């Protein structure tokens, strides 16, 4: 038991230092977004995966559901001039970059594995019985998106799209989960605290190295300037601050035990 606690402390120290190390490595290599996914996300994810190998399949299966949702989200984000993600590949899936889809998967995977390893004392290795509803929801939303993409492309240009998508898919799930299951709030916020730090560092570096950018033609509720870069308030709210809470809300409700 003492050995396990000591190992977790060492791993946590490593994860706290890693975003800084990863930033210097990325700057030194002038890394592209694809390479940053390996440096920032894959390496720590592999370390945690080695610690709780029985959770890999469950976490990976849940994370795969992020891909169709990400295609829908990035495509509409591009169409609505909310953000642009340059790609090293010469194709996109509808309007989504390969790097973006990989980011959607690996981000959710890292968050879930971090949460399961450090904070969830009721680890369940099997997928939750409600995961089928999340699959149906994901496929349903993606089908609606396809109809709009091929038949009504102009209606995909949504003013204040980032605010709208954040309110619906980020804030509402968090509020509902916290009302129904107050006992998990502390665990959620501890996880979110780490990823606030992680994603804030990643955001600043991403904007400096051009991994993504926010067009001035996009409609946002306001802008934040920090260390020579500018990003919308929505990015701070729905990605850096509350994105992790929403991810865990979906995970606990659809795929875990909510304890």
The number of distinct structural domains making up the chain is: 1
* Of 194, 190, 180, 158, the residue nearest 77 (C-alpha): 158
Question: Domain range holding 140?
Answer: 2-255
Most confident of 5-14, 103-112, 121-130, 212-221: 103-112
Instruction: Provide the pLDDT confidence category of residue 148 given band limits of 50, 70 and 90.
Output: confident
Kindly tell me if the per-residue pLDDT of 254 is higher than 90. Answer: no
Q: What is the pLDDT of residues 38-56, one digit of tens each?
A: 999 999 999 999 999 989 9
Average of per-residue pLDDT across 141-166: 80
Q: Largest Cα–Cα distance in the chain?
A: 60
Place of tokens 């300037």: 225
Answer whether residue 127 shows pLDDT above 70: no
- Lowest-confidence segment of 4-13, 42-51, 130-139, 158-167 by average pLDDT: 130-139
> Could you report the per-residue pLDDT of 199-231, keeping only the tens digit for each?
999 999 999 999 999 998 778 999 999 999 999
pLDDT at 141: 81
Is residue 258 very low, low, confident or very high in pLDDT (cuts 50, 70, 90)?
low
Predicted confidence band at 130 (pLDDT cuts at 50, 70, 90)? confident
Structure tokens at 55: 């959770």
Taking all residues of the chain, what is their mean pLDDT, rounded to a whole number? Answer: 89
Please tell me the predicted confidence (pLDDT) of residue 80.
Answer: 87
CA distance 159 to 180: 32
């Amino acid at each position: 038991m003492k050995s396990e606690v000591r190992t977790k402390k060492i791993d946590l120290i490593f994860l706290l230092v890693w975003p800084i190390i990863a930033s210097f490595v990325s700057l030194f290599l002038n890394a592209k977004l694809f390479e940053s996914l390996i440096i920032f996300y894959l390496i720590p994810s592999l370390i945690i995966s080695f610690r709780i190998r029985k959770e890999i399949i469950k976490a990976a299966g849940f994370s795969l559901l992020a891909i169709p949702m990400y295609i829908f989200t990035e495509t509409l984000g591009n169409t609505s001039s909310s953000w642009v993600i340059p790609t090293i590949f010469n194709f996109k899936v509808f309007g989504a970059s390969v790097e973006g889809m990989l980011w959607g998967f690996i981000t959710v995977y890292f968050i879930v594995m971090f949460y399961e390893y450090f904070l969830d004392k009721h680890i369940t290795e099997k997928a939750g019985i409600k995961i089928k509803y999340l699959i149906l929801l994901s496929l349903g939303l993606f089908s609606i998106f396809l109809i709009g993409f091929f038949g009504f492309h102009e209606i995909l240009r949504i003013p204040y799209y980032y605010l709208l998508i954040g309110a619906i898919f980020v804030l509402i799930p968090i509020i509902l989960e916290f009302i129904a299951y107050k006992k998990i709030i502390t665990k959620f916020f501890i996880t979110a605290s780490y990823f606030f730090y992680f994603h804030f560092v990643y955001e600043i570096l991403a904007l400096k190295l051009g991994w993504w950018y926010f067009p001035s033609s996009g409609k946002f509720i306001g802008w934040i300037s920090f260390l020579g870069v500018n990003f919308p308030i929505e990015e701070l709210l729905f990605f850096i601050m509350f994105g992790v809470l929403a991810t865990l809300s979906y995970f606990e409700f659809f795929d875990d035990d909510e304890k």
